[in-house]
Amino acid sequence: MTSQTSTMVSLRGVDVPMVRCGSGPPVLVLHGGDGPVDHLPFVKSISSSFELLHPTHPGFGGTPIPEHFDGLEDLTFLYLDLIDSLDLQDAILVGFSMGGWLAAEIAVMNTGRFSKLVLVDSVGIKPGGPLDRDISDVFALSAQDLQKATWHDQSLVPNFPEMSDEELQTIASNKIAHGLYTWEPYMHNPKLRYRLHRIDIPTLLVWGENDGIVTPDYGAALRDLISGARLSVIPDAGHHPHIEQPAEFTARFLEFASG
């Protein structure tokens, strides 16, 4: 059993809350648009053999959005500073959804501090043409349609009316930050596909088989742009396989991370 510690990393005036847990080789975890994942069961399972470093992106979890922040590139450079300040060596870089895009942006800059890369139901590229909706427009979907696209198990859908005001405001703030980082070009960087060849470390893509936000076909398109990358599809899971199938997710992560 490992305990979590919360620290604040200060980077040139931007304070980034970070949860550390476990011991072992470092794993930098970048969460997606739904906010921090440090409280989820899979974290506990992984932390028995790795040290997880889980920062919260500015704007999420009730933190302020820095005045000069306009988009994902600002996060990329913030984390390049964070990675330097932590002096990470041979770390595993893991990103979920928007955090997967962020991880890819970091990796194409420099993989020097990382040994492996894991992208989970990640966004970041646009495989199709102008008329193709490659990534569901999560900001224009009704709540019901968004739930259908997100979850394999519809019973996991969040119930807003039952939440406290504080919880709802955090979700609302998370959505503001999510929109800021992903609005236009929507959830992708048109240049990224021309840079992904620079990723020279073993890369695993984990995907929920029933993800309706970005389908496994999207995952395959992303895989094909990263040399030697492998796509691992988890059945009975949607956009969050680490929540819907935590045991399977952990097993596939550990197999790749320890291999």
Partner 1 sequence: MRAWFFTEDAYPYLPDADSYESIRVNLPNKHFDPATGADLYNMYLDMWCAADEMGLNIMNNEHHQTATCMVPAAPIMLGILARETKNARLLILGNPVANRSQPVRVAEEMALIDVLSKGRLECGFVRGVPYEIAPANVYPYRGTEKLWEAHDLITKAWTTHDGPFNFEGRWFHARQVNIWPRPYQQPHPPVWVTMGSAGSAAQVAQRGHVGGVFLAGYPKIRSIFDGYRKGYLDAHGSDTPIDRLAYCALIHVGKTEKEGLEGAEKLLWYMSSNKVPPQFANPPGYHAPAMAAAMMRGNNSGTGLPTSTNLAEQMARGNVFAGTPDQVYDQIKNFYDYCGGFGNLMMMSQAGFMTFDETLASMRLFSEEVYPRLKELTAGYDAGEMQEIRVALPDVENIDISNLASEFVR
* Among positions 4, 66, 77, 175, the unique one binding partner 1 when judged by CB under 8 A: 175
Work out whether the CA dihedral 203, 209, 153, 161 comes out positive or negative: positive
Asked if 165 touches partner 1 (CB under 8 A), the answer is yes
Asked if 173 touches partner 1 (CB under 8 A), the answer is yes
Comparison of 160 and 194: residue with beta carbon closer to partner 1: 160
DSSP string across 227-244: TT-EEEEETT--S-HHHH
Comparison of 141 and 233: residue with beta carbon closer to partner 1: 141
| Helix-then-strand count for the chain, H and E | 8, 8
CB of 15 to partner 1, least distance (A): 19
Q: HSE, CB side, 13 Å, CA atoms: give it for residue 224.
A: 9
239 - beta bridge partners?
none
Asked if 1 touches partner 1 (CB under 8 A), the answer is no
Asked if 140 touches partner 1 (CB under 8 A), the answer is yes
Within 8 A by CB and 6+ apart from 191, the residues are none
Return the range that interacts with partner 1 (CB under 8 A); candidates 125-133, 171-179, 201-209, 219-227.
Answer: 171-179
Q: Tell me how far apart the alpha carbons of residues 234 and 161 are, in angstroms, rounded to a whole number.
A: 31
Q: DSSP state, 192?
A: G
Asked if 161 touches partner 1 (CB under 8 A), the answer is yes
Binding to partner 1 (CB under 8 A): which residues in 228-247? none
Per CB under 8 A, residues contacting partner 1 are: 65, 139-143, 160-161, 165, 168-169, 171-173, 175-176, 178-180, 183-184
